[in-house]
Amino acid sequence: MVDSVIDKFGRRVEQRVLTKEPLSSYTSFHIGGPAEYLYTPCGEEDLVCALRAARAFKMPTTVIGNGTNVLVSDRGVEGLVVRLMETSLQPVMEKGLVLARAPMPLSSLLDFAMSQDLSGLEYLVSIPGTVGGAIFMNAGSFSQAISTHLAYVEVLDPNLEYVMKKHEDVDFDYRYSEFQESGAIILGAAFDLEAGDGATIRSTAARIRSEKHAKQSWEHPNAGSIFTNPPTTYAGKLIEEAGCKGLQVGQAQVSGKHANFIVNLGGATAFDVTRLMDIVVQRVYARFNVRLSPEIRLLGDFS
Ligand SMILES: Cc1cc2nc3c(=O)[nH]c(=O)nc-3n(C[C@H](O)[C@H](O)[C@H](O)COP(=O)(O)OP(=O)(O)OC[C@H]3O[C@@H](n4cnc5c(N)ncnc54)[C@H](O)[C@@H]3O)c2cc1C
Ligand SMILES: NC(=O)C1=CN([C@@H]2O[C@H](COP(=O)(O)OP(=O)(O)OC[C@H]3O[C@@H](n4cnc5c(N)ncnc54)[C@H](OP(=O)(O)O)[C@@H]3O)[C@@H](O)[C@H]2O)C=CC1
Ligand SMILES: C=C(O[C@H]1[C@H](O)[C@@H](CO)O[C@H](OP(=O)(O)OP(=O)(O)OC[C@H]2O[C@@H](n3ccc(=O)[nH]c3=O)[C@H](O)[C@@H]2O)[C@@H]1NC(C)=O)C(=O)O
């Protein structure tokens, strides 16, 4: 088996490739079957090397960050799964911009901004993903999003060419970035932040963090909000009013604390979660004539 990994990816990449690795260990839901190959690159040259190899073998490629907004199929994911998550990375300042690589945890970016008394990212507190995952999802809260203070994004386009895109040339919307359609891989980003008062920045972040922890469900593995909010209302409100709080399929349950969270009570499968999501969608539709759309990204085969 090791030989075939070397044959496919070469010696440079081989040591960091795991075969048939359960993805449940890499998702906040603690759900998911095996990746055929799971690769955590050591820098961008290695990443490109592995992607070229996958391409040469016509192998499908899937990118994950910290796995906090994904539901991975019980059958796992075919081909190469690239995990872009690296806790040792730190932001740097250059020409007045804060530069962050995609695999960096958002919390490191926030820590850095706070240490420099820079304001603008406080609303990203307690979002447990990476910088890359947050840009892909245009993550945010309280009507603010990571795109707000973005100066530019560096990506690998589908031809594996390096491209730098200015903020104004990227299509962003609520929980949407054009990367969800283009297939580009986010490598890094630059943020244009404002100088602020350190104490105010920290107290705002602390307040947002405690508000989120008070409302949201952190006691069992989950993936944050399951559905996006419809334009003029809240998914959690509709799900609660449709009588779905506490509804359970297998070990997956609509949280009793926040109805737009599904929690894994222990050993839930992706099948349990998708069945539960279907029931919630049907009940909300029957009651309010509103069709909820998933925010979480489904990876692997769900047919
Ligand atoms: C307790 C909890 C609270 C949360 N609160 C919030 C919140 O307040 N606001 C909010 O918006 N979200 C929230 N989330 C959801 C989630 O944390 C965010 O969407 C986060 O940005 C996902 O980042 P990630 O690195 O975990 O991405 P992943 O879940 O690993 O991936 C998400 C998607 O991004 C793609 N992707 C990841 N990295 C890259 C890359 N470098 N290039 C291209 N594609 C990439 C993946 O293919 C996948 O489709 C919460 C989740 C949890 C568990
Ligand atoms: N100086 C100040 O006043 C403030 C500073 N900050 C800083 O900003 C940075 C970002 O803060 P924050 O985003 O809150 O990140 P943190 O890394 O501090 O995480 C906050 C807490 O949330 C928990 N958590 C994260 N993800 C999940 C999950 N999926 N399910 C359950 N629990 C989870 C963590 O638990 P676990 O450890 O188990 O992962 C941790 O206890 C931090 O470094 C923090 O120090 C934030 C607010 C105020
Ligand atoms: C967690 C995520 O992001 C969160 C983000 O942290 C918070 C920050 O306040 O705002 C959004 O939640 P949300 O819209 O559910 O915010 P909340 O303030 O908890 O609830 C909105 C409204 O719904 C009501 N509500 C919520 C949950 C519930 O069980 N019942 C209910 O009636 C609340 O009372 C409130 O009036 C984001 N979710 C979406 C889909 O936009 C995520 O995207 O994964």
Tens digit of each residue's pLDDT (9 = 90 or more) over 130-163: 999 999 999 999 889 999 999 999 999 999 999 9
Averaged pLDDT, 205-215: 96
ipTM: 0.95
Both 210 and 99 in one domain: the answer is yes
Domains of the chain: total: 3
Does residue 221 have its Cβ closer than 6 Å to ligand 1? no
Q: Does residue 251 line the site of ligand 2, with CB under 6 A? A: no
CA–centroid distance, residue 236 to ligand 3 (Å): 6
Q: Kindly state if the Cβ of 133 falls inside 6 Å of ligand 3.
A: no
Report, as an integer, the average pLDDT of 102-115: 98
- In this structure, what token pair is assigned to residue 271? 């099948």
Domain check: are 224 and 208 in the same one? no
Q: Are residues 119 and 200 in the same domain?
A: yes
Please state the atom number of ligand 3 nearest to the C-alpha of residue 257. 29
186 closest CA partner among 217, 203, 164, 219: 164
Residue 242: its pLDDT value, please? Answer: 98
For residue 100, give the 3-state DSSP assignment: strand
End-of-domain residue from the set 64, 83, 102: 83
Which amino acid residue places its CA nearest to atom 42 of ligand 2?
Answer: 107
Q: pLDDT by residue (tens digit) across 237-283?
A: 999 999 999 999 999 999 999 999 999 999 999 999 999 999 999 99
Cα 259 to chain centroid distance, Å, stands at 20
Pair 141, 228 in one domain: no
From 35, 62, 83, give the residue that closes a domain: 83
Domain CATH code at residue 293? 3.90.78.10
Q: What type of residue is 10?
A: G
> What pLDDT, on the 0 to 100 scale, is given for residue 174?
97
Least confident of 13-22, 58-67, 194-203: 13-22
Residue 275 and residue 193 share a domain: no
Measured by CA distance, the residue closest to atom 4 of ligand 1 is 224
CATH number at residue 98: 3.30.465.10
DSSP-assigned letter for residue 289: S
The CATH number of whichever domain residue 46 belongs to comes to: 3.30.43.10
Residues 69 and 160 in one domain: no
pLDDT digits (tens, 9 = 90+) for 26-64: 999 999 999 999 999 999 999 999 999 999 999 999 999
Average pLDDT along the chain:
95
CB 50 within 8 A of CB 82: yes
pTM of this prediction? Answer: 0.96
Q: Are 134 and 193 found together in one domain?
A: yes
How many degrees, rounded to 5, is the angle at CA 231 between CA 150 and CA 138? Answer: 20
pLDDT of residue 3: 57
Q: How remote is the CA of residue 234 from the centroid of ligand 3, in Å?
A: 7
* Boundary-marking domain end, from 192, 214, 236: 214
Question: Do 202 and 222 belong together in one domain?
Answer: no
The answer to whether residues 199 and 236 belong to one domain is no
* Cβ of 271 less than 6 Å from ligand 2: no
What span, in angstroms and rounded, lies between the C-alpha atoms of 48 and 129? 22
98 with 209, same domain: the answer is: yes
- 125/217: higher pLDDT: 125
Mapped onto helix, strand or coil, the DSSP state of residue 280 is helix
Q: Residues 236, 210: one domain?
A: no
pLDDT value, residue 152: 98
- Tell me the mean pLDDT in the region 225-246: 98
Q: Tell me, what's the pLDDT at 2?
A: 46
Both 156 and 190 in one domain: the answer is yes
Q: What's the CA-to-centroid distance between 114 and ligand 1, angstroms?
A: 22
* Domain housing 65: 2-83
Q: Is the CB of 107 under 6 A from ligand 2?
A: yes
